[in-house]
Chains A and B, each alone.
Chain A
Amino acid sequence: MKPRVAFFDFTCCEGCQLQMANFGEALLDILNLVDVVTFREVMSERSEDYDIAIIEGSITTDHDVERVKKIREKAKVVIAYGSCATIGGINGMKNKFDLEEIKKYVYKDGAKHFSTIPTRAVHQVIKVDYFINNCPVYPPEVIKVLKAALQGIPYEVPDYAVCVECKLNENICMYDKGITCLGPVTKAGCNSWCINNGNICYGCRGMVSNPAKNGQMDILQKYKIPLDWVVNKVDMYNKPRELEEEKPKK
């Protein structure tokens, strides 16, 4: 029997799910290997019986916490899908503010109807088996992870800088163009997607496990880049990294 796959979305823009539709022929090959039983964006049927849960979005309310825990109980394999799910993503920006204040700012008089908790990545609430980083997800990596999951072997997100891939693509470094880029602190795996297309790295894949603090500060000084400017850039996707200690062991 083919493994049954269900997609779930939490706080996110659902753009990563939409990426699936851009897979072209590979999508047909994937559909040969699995049965998609729940996928709100493309089908109306849904099933509570699944093997692989692909979770998009970050966890931002108590209700989310309960719901994602239930998914973990049912699923044999949980895949965090996209930046919001794997690192908290841009929803994490609210963690910079007092939650009550920011709620009032967003919902005005309606604020009392909403509950809110600090934004968390999925693995900060439940155990996650596979991580598909990136905003939006990078199709070749999605396929790699799905193949690993279907074979029951681990997938390691590269723990080195985007620069490694960027240089292999022989891009002119943004620093040589006088532009700051988060490549040196961001995990590779996207084949330096943004830089190949003329953009900087925004850090959407999360930070490498051992970023060089001293070295980075040194570089900022050399290029006369203000620290808070870079911290803001990093926080755009990576604010929930500060909650990392709280993540569940099991």
Chain B
Amino acid sequence: MRYLLLKKANFDDFISSLAQIEKVVAPVSRGYNSFSFAEVKSGKEITLKYIPTVLPPKKYFMPQREKLTEFNKAENSVEAILEYEKMVIFGVHTCDLAGIQCLNIVFSDKPKDINYLVRKNKLVIIGLECNDYCDQYASCKVVDNHLPNGGYDLFFTELDDSFIVHVNTGLGEEIVEKTRLFIPNDQEHLNKLEAIRARKREIFKEEVNVKHKDLVTLFNDKAFESKVWEDLDKRCVACGNCTAVCPTCYCFDILDNINLDLNTGDRTRRWDSCQTEPFAKVAGGENFRKTRGMRQRHRYFRKFRYPAERYSRYFCTGCGRCTRTCMAKISLKETVNALAAEQKYKK
């Protein structure tokens, strides 16, 4: 729609005035080079230069625990529950914007997930550009998420003493109007933005030895039997960290809880992980993915092949979280490269 400018000197005021109108969450330092999205009241609490947070913003789109219904046995009644909270999410990197887009696609597919879709509409997204790589684990270029590609209401790019802000939606315009801190930009600022993008096209290189379009073919039927999964089988401890932190892992389990009156209760969904032992176990004790290697293989196919076939989109955003969090140091880039080497793939 249009560009505007926010002076860095006004950033703190911007966040605090926004926080007076709406709940604002943003990346906050937790020490040990770790960050998480948390509620902030002022700009000072925010770390603008951060590596991807422990959990992605998906925690606001699909909460770890979400009540779906409440029931009453004696009255034989069930009531649908919709839990949501209005909020502004500030500082979402382009990889995480892509993650949210993936979730939107899945939860809009049939059958539509009404709870998700209603909640999503209450969330305002303010993106924040990475002018450089966050760290060595990122692979956002090969999946084409290093540059903004929509999915935000406002998008901030840091220039010298200001942010150039792309206003993308009506909700974005509302924030501009309510906070009254944005000023018109000059051509000079647009030139600087273009220079940043040009530099990024130089720095960001396909992080694996495979071209973007060939990733899907790498995960072919033969790759199903690859030695790579045997190696991961020996190393993975099935801690489920890689799926919890992944912006596009959305598997859930549904549980019924009864209250202590043994009459009323609720049905709740909570995050689940395909990496755990019981995930693929069914009645009778049969387990469809018995080994950790099979479960890792599933995770990778679930990022690079199945969604590519169904939604024409990779469900890896390149955020690098799975590699960063893995105590066994299983690396997404190494796994992809090992598959490519095994198949004698040439770029």
Contacts and interface: CB of A to CB of B under 8 A. Distances in A.
Contact of B237 (A29, A173, A184): A184
Interface residues of A, number: 37
A213 B32 CA distance: 28
Contacts, number: 97
Contacts of A75: none
A160 B278 contact: yes
A163 B239 contact: yes
Contacts of B328: 215, 218-219, 222
A145 to B, nearest CB: 12
Given A164-B276, A212-B237, A218-B328, A150 B36 contact: no
B238 A212 contact: yes
B258 A151 contact: yes
Contacts of B278: 158-160
Contacts of A151: 258, 262
B277 A164 contact: no
B239 A164 contact: yes
Interface in A179-213: 183-185, 208-212
A147 interface: yes
B277 A160 contact: yes
Contacts of A168: 55, 64, 244, 271
Contacts of A159: 276-278
A160 B32 contact: no
Interface residues of B, number: 33
Interface string A145-179: 00100110000001111011001101011011100
Interface of B is mostly: loop
B258 A208 contact: no
Contact of B240 (A143, A161, A173, A222): A161
A61 to B, nearest CB: 35
Given A160-B273, A173-B325, A215 B236 contact: yes
A160 B262 contact: no
B31 interface: yes
Contact of B292 (A167, A215, A222): A215
B236 A212 contact: yes
B241 interface: yes
Interface in B97-136: none
B140 interface: no
A167 B235 contact: no
A26 B260 contact: yes
Given A172-B34, A173-B241, 13 more contacts: A32-B260, A150-B262, A151-B262, A160-B273, A163-B240, A167-B239, A170-B55, A172-B31, A177-B32, A184-B239, A208-B277, A212-B238, A219-B328
B34 A176 contact: yes
Contact of A161 (B235, B238, B271): B238
Interface in B239-291: 239-241, 244-245, 258, 260-262, 271, 273, 276-278
A209 B277 contact: yes
A106 to B, nearest CB: 37
Contacts of B260: 26, 29-30, 32-33, 143, 147
Interface of B: 30-32, 34, 36, 54-55, 59, 64, 234-241, 244-245, 258, 260-262, 271, 273, 276-278, 292, 325, 327-329
Contacts of A22: none
A214 interface: yes
Given A159-B278, A167-B244, A209-B277, A173 B327 contact: yes
B59 to A, nearest CB: 8
Interface string A5-16: 000000000000
A221 B67 CA distance: 42
A47 interface: no
Contact of B329 (A170, A185, A222): A222
A216 interface: yes
Interface of A: 26, 29-30, 32-33, 143, 147, 150-151, 158-161, 163-164, 167-168, 170, 172-173, 175-177, 183-185, 208-212, 214-216, 218-219, 222
A126 to B, nearest CB: 24
B62 to A, nearest CB: 12
Nearest to B241: A167
A150, A168, A208 pick with most chain B CB within 10 angstroms:
A168
Nearest to B236: A215
A195 B241 CA distance: 15
A170 B54 contact: yes
B238 A219 contact: no
A208 to B, nearest CB: 7
Contacts of B55: 167-168, 170
A225 to B, nearest CB: 11
Contact of A164 (B32, B34, B244): B244
A211 B260 CA distance: 34
